Amino acid sequence: AQSVTQLGSHVSVSEGALVLLRCNYSSSVPPYLFWYVQYPNQGLQLLLKYTSAATLVKGINGFEAEFKKSETSFHLTKPSAHMSDAAEYFCALSGGYGNKLVFGAGTILRVKS
């Protein structure tokens, strides 16, 4: 069985502050892990992916995530938040080629000026 847990349904940071969105996973097979971002009334855009290569993954818009097998985590970070980062972020897991994505419940990021 596979599952994704995102800690914190809402995260609020000040502009320029560190962004940390937490994601833990459970998988019976080596996972592929993803972070997607969704702006209001829009589709899901891929931020970054982990596919069993480098454990520190860099994505678009200055985001990065580190795969930690010992902690079964894949937390998303950005050193300095920008107002345009305000959106909902989904962590997702796949068990391999052709497998569906299993999503976490999502974290809404609010950026305060």
Partner 1 sequence: AAGVIQSPRHLIKEKRETATLKCYPIPRHDTVYWYQQGPGQDPQFLISFYEKMQSDKGSIPDRFSAQQFSDYHSELNMSSLELGDSALYFCASSRISTGANVLTFGAGSRLTVL
Q: Which is nearer to partner 1, 81 or 102 (CB)?
A: 102
Per CB under 8 A, the segment of 11-19, 21-29, 57-65, 101-109 that binds partner 1 is 101-109
AA identity, residue 17? A
How far is residue 1's CA from residue 94's CA, in Å, rounded to a whole number?
Answer: 11
Q: How far is the CB of 105 from partner 1 (least distance, A)?
A: 5
List the one residue from 74, 94, 109, 111 that touches partner 1 (CB under 8 A): 94
CA distance 106 to 5: 9
Q: List the x/- string, 30-69, binding to partner 1 by CB under 8 A.
A: --x-x-x----xxxxxx--x-x------------------
DSSP letter for each residue of 23-73: EEEE-SSPPEEEEEEE-TT--EEEEEEE-SS-SEEE-GGG-EEEEETTTTE
Q: How big is the chain, counted in residues?
A: 113
Task: Closer to partner 1 by CB, 19 or 36: give it.
Answer: 36
- Binding stretches for partner 1 (CB under 8 A): 32, 34, 36, 41-46, 49, 51, 90, 94, 96-106
